[in-house]
Amino acid sequence: MKLRLGVTLWLLSWVPYGVILGLSGAWLTMAWTVEILLGVIGIAIAGREFGQAVKRRGWKGAPGVAWQAMRHGSNVAAAD
């Protein structure tokens, strides 16, 4: 579930909220800051889960475990 959350947050960071909402000046800068924070937090959460997959299955098996976790919504440990 954490892998899904991390990837979702990272994807949401690519949405240009400030442009969509027509913001300018300091509000646009604040919107960009929120977008960057969403991306960094998402990568941190997803990266931690993917790191666990690498530890459990090695580099060759980690993508398969991560894909199973993404598809079924389970954590990496349960996707083995």
Which own/partner contact pairs does 64-67 have at CB distance under 8 Å and 24+ positions apart? 66/3
Identify the pLDDT of residue 27: 96
Integer Cα distance of 80 and 14 in angstroms? 31
pLDDT tens string, the chain, 80 residues long: the values are 788 888 889 999 999 999 999 999 999 999 999 999 999 999 999 888 888 777 877 878 778 777 777 777 666 665 55
**Is residue 34 within 8 Å of residue 17, measured between CB atoms?**
yes
Identify the pLDDT of residue 42: 92
**Is residue 77 within 8 Å of residue 4, measured between CB atoms?**
no
Residue extents of the structural domains in the chain = 2-79
Identify the pLDDT of residue 74: 65
